[in-house]
Amino acid sequence: MPKFDETLTMLKDLTDAKGIPGNEHEPREVMKKYITPYADEVETDGLGSLIAKKSGNENGPKIMIAGHLDEVGFMVTQIDDKGFLRFQTVGGWWSQVMLAQRVTVVTSKGDITGVIGSKPPHILSAEARKKPVDIKDMFIDIGASSREEAAEWGVRPGDMAVPYFEFTVMNNDKMLLAKAWDNRIGCAIAIDVLKNLQNEKHDNVVYGVATVQEEVGLRGAKTASNKIQPDISIAVDVGIAGDTPGISKKEAMSKMGDGPQIILYDASMVSHKGLRDLVTNVADELNIPYQFDAIPGGGTDAGSTHLAGEGAPSLAITIATRYIHSHAGILHRDDFENAVKLITEVVKRLDRETVDKITFD
């Protein structure tokens, strides 16, 4: 087992925290703990997004670095008379990654372990084995014998159920396995960018932001950016790793370990060309590896932040991650560290003149 350094401890604390959209209290407290030492002030907006402000020049442009706190998960909608829980997915799920997976149901009386039930193959017809189970027919088994017993344990409709998985450093210790990389890795990047700027000159005001409810429509990014009114926004999130069996280069171009992804286009935003050029020029100057990608079927918080106020040049920088929107994903530590380094160096160059040139040229 590798020795846990400060970074691995932070990543474990962030990813082990439980927080689906609308229930982000626990990861927000972890985020607050880690980012407060590097911020001049920390506050939340009305929806619950955390905003950490660090001033280099109070009259300089406002730079927003945003990851999101929420992870995909489930919400209990009903308890049947035998004590099984029916649920609603919160965020995008593919049914084939859900059956027989362990979850944690978070109640007012404490956490309860459950599993998404599945039929044994022995009783399935050949035809049924080939057919995916509809999510609406799934249930969570918490070992209760009745509705009353589940209620006694504190389970109520509206409680969240979170994928269970412990943070794990793999045999190749650059490969990190955990739930909720989408998007606690973005939160970690925001923390470390502020940390890197502690003793650096930056002619601007930097906001390290952890937004809520990204997975259900980029909602916290709307409220946080309305509060901040950024001049420049960078969303940090996960992207698709193309270096896995069954994924073609047409579907995803990036490889883990080859640098952060510069997103050219996604379903929520056309990336701002001037900001994109600045970021890649800085990376080229400093020999920081990066990759280009496009995500036609998804979006990031930049889809909301670029529409704040009169509009803010925005870009998504993402980390190629395997198996996102499932119980566990894998990413490469070098990509995380290179993203932090790149964004730190970009922020140091974003003075008023540079921001105006990006915005108005």
Catalytic residue set: 214
The CA distance from 69 to 106, in Å, is 17
How far is the C-alpha of 277 from the C-alpha of 263, rounded, in Å? 12
CA–CA separation, 286 and 346 (whole Å): 11
Q: At what angle do helices 352-360 and 273-286 cross, to 10 degrees?
A: 130
**Angstrom distance (rounded) from CA 42 to CA 89:** 31
Phi-psi region of 113 (alpha: psi -120 to 50; beta: other; left: phi over 0): beta
Strand arrangement of the beta sheet that strand 329-332 belongs to: 168-169, 175-178, 329-332
CA dist., res. 274 & res. 259, Å (int): 21
Contact 329, 178 (CB under 8 A): yes
Question: Would you say 92 and 215 are in contact if contact means Cβ atoms under 8 Å apart?
Answer: yes
Which residues make beta-bridge pairs with 265?
A: 270, 294
- For residue 282, the tally of other CB atoms under 10 A from its CB is 20
Query: What are 307's two structure tokens?
Result: 């529409």
3-state secondary structure 271-299: CCHHHHHHHHHHHHHHCCCCEEEEECCCC
Peptide bond into 183 cis (omega under 30): yes
Task: Give Cβ neighbours of residue 283 (< 8 Å, ≥ 6 apart).
Answer: 259, 289, 290, 342
Cα torsion angle, 75, 78, 79, 84, sign: negative
Token pair recorded at residue 205: 């005001």
